[in-house]
Amino acid sequence: MALDPVCLGQARVLLAQNKAAASARLSARRTEIYEALPAVRAIDEEMRAGLLGAVRDTLSGEESALERCRTRNLSLRAQRNALLAGGGYPPDALDDRPACALCDDTGATADGRLCDCLRQLCIREQRRALSAKLDITGQTFAAFDLQRFSAETDPSHGLSPRSHMGVMREYCVKYVERFDPTAPNLLFRGGAGLGKTFLCACVAGALCARGHWVLYETAAGAFALMEGQKFARDESAGEEVQRLLRCDLLILDDVGAEFSTPFAQSAFHQILSTRLGAGRQTLLVSGLTEEELRGRYTPQITSRLEAFELLPFFGADLRKHRA
């Protein structure tokens, strides 16, 4: 399970900002309490001075110094807690406690691993980035309303669009639950207004919530990025291309709607070959029929499309029906 390096960087910044904000709040609270309860300040200063003296005496060979300091500080802390309680403050009001006890708000555990607090921040940023291109908030499996699809049997398929979409929804739910490097690549194929993008959003949002790195882009947008990387030497475009090639799941929408050029063919082939070779999953969405796909793309591309599991969409255009 990969993490988006861009979102991870943003998460590290957020973690540092949260830590700085917590430190500022503690400093303000300490100032407030010291002004309201000067005796608390005096006790804190006495405890700090006593600890420094105990360390100095221990280094000089007095082994019992630290134990005496500990006993004295326990008594002072009890007096301090009583003063804080009398002023309406909790006993830990002046304690510098990290939000995450595992990493002390550094983002890394003692053994150098990424802390879960930083991972969760990164997942939140990944979800925010995905939401900027694909509505994953309102489009969920729970909101996938089968009643919108016709219950009349389609003669060419032998079942109704409603029954078929129920099967498709369950397939995608299980796809998310079992998603790993062995999961199949998917091809959503069908006309406009049949629920392809909605179901994509369901898959994307559910996988993102599980911590997977999901990116959404149109075919035209992805190929434009690759063109900018190659011909304009656009560094930011190059970084975006690497993200497209490395994410856990790439959703490439409107396949076949892009301008058909030799470069677009080459870019599409590179995406498919790189991701298939690396064992990274891709979900393609197209309004073209199988014959149209074969007529539009090179044999090298269509042969790679054979590695995709087809999920067909059929029925009436739901958008026209709503209108």
The secondary structure of 113-145, three-state, reads CECHHHHHHHHHHHHHHHHCCCCCCCCCCCCCC
pLDDT tens for residues 48-59? 898 888 888 888
pLDDT at 251: 97
Mean pLDDT of 154-183: 93
pLDDT tens for residues 24-56? 999 999 999 999 999 999 999 999 898 888 888
Q: What is the dihedral of CA 183, 189, 193, 196, to 10 degrees?
A: 10
pLDDT at 157: 85
**Integer Cα distance of 120 and 40 in angstroms:** 38
If one counts the domains in the chain, the total is 1
Domain-embedded: residue 227: yes
Domain-embedded: residue 291: yes
Domain-embedded: residue 101: no
pLDDT tens for residues 224-236? 999 988 776 767 7
pLDDT at 70: 87
Are 255 and 223 in contact, with CB atoms under 8 Å apart? no
Q: Residue 287 in 3-state DSSP?
A: coil
Mean pLDDT of 267-278: 96
Is the pLDDT at 322 greater than 60, yes or no?
A: no
Is the model more confident about 319 or about 175?
175
Closest CA to 134 of 246, 254, 237, 23: 254
Domain-embedded: residue 166: yes
Residue 200, classified by CB atoms within 10 Å of its CB into exposed (0-12), middle (13-18) or buried (19+), is buried
pLDDT tens for residues 101-151? 899 999 999 898 999 999 999 999 999 999 999 999 888 999 999 998 999
Number of H helices, E strands in the chain: 12, 5
pLDDT tens for residues 213-224? 999 999 999 999
Domain-embedded: residue 259: yes
pLDDT at 231: 73
Closest CA to 226 of 216, 239, 215: 239
Mean pLDDT of 257-283: 95
Backbone angles phi, psi at 244, to 5 degrees: -60, -35
Is the pLDDT at 90 greater than 90, yes or no?
A: yes
Domain-embedded: residue 69: no
Residue 320 — very low, low, confident or very high, per pLDDT cuts 50/70/90? low
pLDDT at 321: 55
Mean pLDDT of 64-68: 84
Q: What is the mean pLDDT of the chain?
A: 91
Residue 323 — very low, low, confident or very high, per pLDDT cuts 50/70/90? very low
Predicted model pTM: 0.83
Q: What is the dihedral of CA 175, 178, 179, 183, to 10 degrees?
A: -80
Backbone angle region of 256, left / alpha / beta, with phi > 0 → left and psi within -120 to 50 → alpha: left
Secondary structure (H, E, C), 49-100: HHHHHHHHHHHCCCCCHHHHHHHHHHHHHHHHHHHHHHCCCCCCCCCCCCCC
Mean pLDDT of 9-21: 95
Mean pLDDT of 171-178: 96
pLDDT at 252: 97
**pLDDT exceeding 70 applies to what percent of the chain?**
98
Domain-embedded: residue 244: yes
Residue 297 — very low, low, confident or very high, per pLDDT cuts 50/70/90? very high
Mean pLDDT of 172-185: 95
Domain containing residue 279: 133-322
Which CATH number covers residue 157? 3.40.50.300
Angle at 311 between CA 310 and CA 317, to 5 degrees: 135
pLDDT at 10: 95
Residue 5, classified by CB atoms within 10 Å of its CB into exposed (0-12), middle (13-18) or buried (19+), is middle
Domain-embedded: residue 280: yes
